[in-house]
Homo-oligomer: A and B are copies of this chain.
Amino acid sequence: MADVMAPERGVGALTAAGADDAPGREPPYDLIELLFFAYRDFVRDVDEALAAYGFGRAHHRVLHFVDRNPGLTVTDLLDILKITKQSLGRVLRELVDQGFIVQREGASDRRQRRLYVTTRGDELALELARLQSARIGRAIELAGPEAGDAARRFLYAMVDRDERGKVEKLTALGRPRGGGA
């Protein structure tokens, strides 16, 4: 690639390390950029695989969380994804229409449509998870297992404070080992 010039600016703006959000402190550009690049490549894997099914990234997110949390309600899903009901609508409908997800009336609250993956849905979810798994496995191999653990703590701390409780309950973090069934 073409050689990129070094920045001419910002270098003078630093202060000593130690304070976090002091006004003149240089932002952690390395982490900011690595988050972008890591995420960019992390999702590209899956996007390609999804294309074969005529699905997009949004379908994956829904499928994933339903797969991992059987019986999730639509409201739960909206809160996880932080999107609107209307946005979810199309994606969910397509997943249901094509037999990847089923909806069942809530046992105690019949207004709810609890969501479950079908066998097919579980298979697809697993296929996609394995792609992501492979990349993560390679990364941990390269960066060391402690880096994986630390990344877990760092990423968790990157989540909005008032979302952390939900995240913990919802994710594998909240599950001791093995998880499902």
Residues of chain A at the chain B interface (Cβ within 8 Å): 1-2, 4-11, 13-21, 23-42, 44, 61, 64, 67-73, 75-76, 79, 82, 96, 99, 102-105, 113, 116-123, 126, 129-130, 132-144, 146-160, 163, 166-167, 169-173, 175, 177-181
Contacts and interface: CB of A to CB of B under 8 A. Distances in A.
Nearest to A5: B71
B148 A69 contact: no
The main secondary structure of chain A at its interface with chain B is: helix
B15 A102 contact: no
A166 B36 CA distance: 14
13 contacts: A2-B73, A4-B103, A5-B69, A5-B71, A24-B130, A31-B136, A31-B151, A32-B64, A33-B171, A37-B171, A38-B156, A136-B158, A144-B153
A82 to B, nearest CB: 6
A10 B102 contact: yes
Contacts of A181: 15-16
Contacts of A120: 10
Chain copies in the assembled complex: 2
A140 B150 CA distance: 10
Contact of A7 (B17, B70, B139, B152): B70
A10 to B, nearest CB: 3
Contact of A147 (B17, B99, B140, B154): B154
Contacts of A32: 64, 129, 132-133, 136
A102 B7 CA distance: 8
A171 B135 CA distance: 21
A5 B133 contact: no
A27 B130 contact: yes
